[in-house]
Structure 1
Amino acid sequence: MGCRKRAAKHQLLRVTAIEGVCVPDPRGALPGRGAHLHLDPTCLDLAVRRRAFPRAFRLQGTLDTERLREYVEERAGGTPAS
């Protein structure tokens, strides 16, 4: 979503929107539309900047990405980006 690069499905994180919040779905079991993202904070930043999440989920307005950001930064092993 963010960097627009192709990758195998197992290399990407499925993300879904639940009640206005972007939620990581590593098992791919949550209901609803899903979008796929690299486990890279830079890719997440690009997706947020481009407003890709509301388009992917076909929703109006902004979505809270804080929970998703924490998950990606923890899995990427980096420090939180400011």
Structure 2
Amino acid sequence: MYRPDEDTPKGWVKPVAKPTRESLKARVAELRAQLAEAETQLREIEEGERLEALVRIRNLMRGFELTLADLGLAPMPKRRGRPRKAAP
């Protein structure tokens, strides 16, 4: 048998008007502004975490006296730009 929940309103329920197009657009703009703010905070947090991880790695490398070659990483080239032409 059907048993109504405690959350189910009893008696008359005040009708709620449908949102208008303008109110929906305003709500979407508000949510987009919140999203942009949250994304900015996320980028700042990610950048801080990235820098913290690099510092930890550098400190561990110094502590264990490791180089990039020990880690299997190629050293950075000393010169930027196009490679020199080979002699004919």
Q: Do the structures match in fold with TM over 0.5?
A: no
Structure 1 or 2, whichever has the larger Rg, is: 2
- Structure number with higher helix proportion: 2
- Structure number with higher strand proportion: 1
- Normalized against structure 2, the TM-score is what? 0.21
- Normalized against structure 1, the TM-score is what? 0.22
